[in-house]
Chains A and B, each alone.
Chain A
Amino acid sequence: MKLHSSDNSKTLKMNHRFIGVLLILWIGVWSLKAQSYENASQHQCLKCHSKNSYTYMNTVKGKEEHRLMNPYFVLDTVAMASGVHKQFDCTDCHSSEYASYPHNGNLKLEPMNSCLDCHGGDESFASYHFERVEEEFKKSVHYKAYGDNFSCSKCHSQHTYMATARNSSSVKDIVDYSNKMCLSCHSDMKKYQLVSGHENPQLVKVHDWLPNQELHFQHVRCIECHTEVTDSLMVSHNILAKEQALKNCVECHSADSKLKASLYKYQNLQKRSEDGGLLSVLSNESYIIGTHQSPLLQLASIIIFLAVVAGIVIHSMFRIFKK
């Protein structure tokens, strides 16, 4: 019995502790929820920065004002909630002084964090080779055109970026996601002009020479032809000048295809071909022209051809000497 009562008091204590922990957790979750991107209207920053217009109290005039939001400062909260940085809050990177409005004008003079400030020299990101990426990027036309002002975020939106190429098993999704990064400037006159100082070339016209343009754009990334392929990086980031871009069909359409070293380098895509059985390897090789897709057919065709030639030679010999 005694044993029993002491057991009871223990349970009671445990219960108190449990409720305490629950309470802390609940407060934690509640405060996180208040900051969550998913509930933008409750979020201190996003209640304005997820909408096309915002309302604020003009203390000088003493009245409430309704204004348009600069469209470049409107954030896609749905994309943010699934981006790689979703666990961070705005003020983790932006100054906490942004919490007040009107924002202090001097804040925009403060340097922003760059990717390498967090990702550089970090063991847990070693497989991404951020330092090597920067090295290659500094050789690229982007760096040459715009110097240090061409930040990573020009292509990889820090707010919404997803590592699609490493995680998706759909070539089309990977290609689409990657190409949209390029198109965000290359099919946007204002953004393109900001960096280059001149108008953007018409992509459909420039790629006029490419047969089945639409299919190519759906199935291969711009960077397949416009970057230098390196063995040590998934994407070299050395975006080449247009004169150096690949313009030779056989670089991809051959057994020794360049695509194997670029797009199909991702293990998730290689794995896909293994999952589907031996035969579906073919589906990854469909960029190779003709029977060369199948080494067996290739061998058979050579043997048949040689046999026919041998037959003809022997027959002609008989015709010449036997008559």
Chain B
Amino acid sequence: MGSNKIYFYPIWLRIWHGFNAIGIIVLIITGISMQASIESSLIAFNTAVNLHNVAGIIVSLSYLVFFFGNLFTKNGRYYLIKISGFLKRPVKQAYYYAWGMFHGMSAPYPLSEKRKFNPLQKYFYVIVMYMAVPLVIVSGIALFFPELIIEKVFAFSGISITAVVHSAMGFFISIFLVIHLYVASIGKSPAENFKSIISGWHHV
């Protein structure tokens, strides 16, 4: 059982994940750089804008790979949330991370060919990939072509609202990335999960 390997991550998924990872990291760094408007930062403002635009287009295109990949392959079923135990299941997983794992409790939802993500992980992935990322892409496209944006939404400036949505979602994705990277280090060994997403094989 200890050396059992499952082919978790098909090649298209790993390519998408790679492009997405690099793109998102570039977007976060250039995004913070632009937002903070740090003049003496490592990246000049113009460079930051150009890099952000290019990375944004790459992430948007790779999102299509993710979206249609999940729609047309069986990988999509890992993202389906069960109604029964809607709250109980993720809470149980959270309890494991916060308490159980330090007190000899074994993982409540061990990964298998049927279950690639634990419930808490699944919830986060669904929120990020089917809410935050689409919102950030749509608002990003709007800011890329600002003449498309409605000028006034009640008393607000349309551009202002779009910009706030874009950066708020960007911030949410950044926080997700930090947690994602940290939780990924909770494996058989801290480097285990990082190896899996590159090779495709997961040790169970």
Contact = CB atoms under 8 A, between A and B. Distances in A.
B160 A253 contact: no
Given A286-B163, A297-B164, A308 B179 contact: yes
B115 to A, nearest CB: 23
Contacts of A290: 31, 34-35, 163-164, 166-167, 170
Contacts of A72: none
B102 interface: yes
Contacts of A316: 182
Interface string B107-132: 00000000000000000000000000
Contacts of B175: 304-305, 308
Contacts, number: 86
B157 interface: yes
Given A312-B182, A319-B186, A286 B160 contact: yes
Given A250-B45, A290-B164, A312-B182, A283 B156 contact: yes
B83 to A, nearest CB: 29
Contacts of A279: 155-156
Interface residues on A, range: 35 or more
Given A297-B168, A308-B178, A312-B178, A285 B37 contact: no
A254 B39 CA distance: 10
A253 B34 CA distance: 9
Interface residues of B, number: 34
Contact of A301 (B34, B101, B171): B171
A22 interface: no
A52 interface: no
A211 B164 CA distance: 20
Contacts of B36: 292
B49 A291 contact: no
Contacts of B170: 290
Contact of B178 (A215, A249, A297, A309): A309
A126 interface: no
A64 to B, nearest CB: 55
B147 A215 contact: yes
Contacts of B168: 291, 297
B49 A211 contact: yes
A297 B164 CA distance: 9
A312 B175 CA distance: 12
B35 A249 contact: no
Contacts of A293: 160, 163-164
B163 A322 contact: no
Interface string B31-70: 1001111010000011001000000000000000000000
Contacts of A280: 155-156
Contacts of A319: 101-102, 186
A276 B155 contact: yes
Interface in B61-117: 97-98, 101-102
A245 to B, nearest CB: 15
B18 interface: no
A214 B101 CA distance: 58
A283 B171 contact: no
Contacts of A189: none
B190 to A, nearest CB: 9
Contacts of B167: 289-291
A289 B156 contact: no
B134 interface: no
B39 A250 contact: yes
B10 interface: no
Nearest to B159: A286
Of A289, A309, A316, most B-chain CB atoms within 10 Å: A289
Interface in A269-323: 276-277, 279-280, 282-283, 285-286, 289-294, 297, 301, 304-305, 308-309, 312, 315-316, 318-319, 322-323
B157 A289 contact: no
Contacts of A277: 155
B155 A254 contact: no
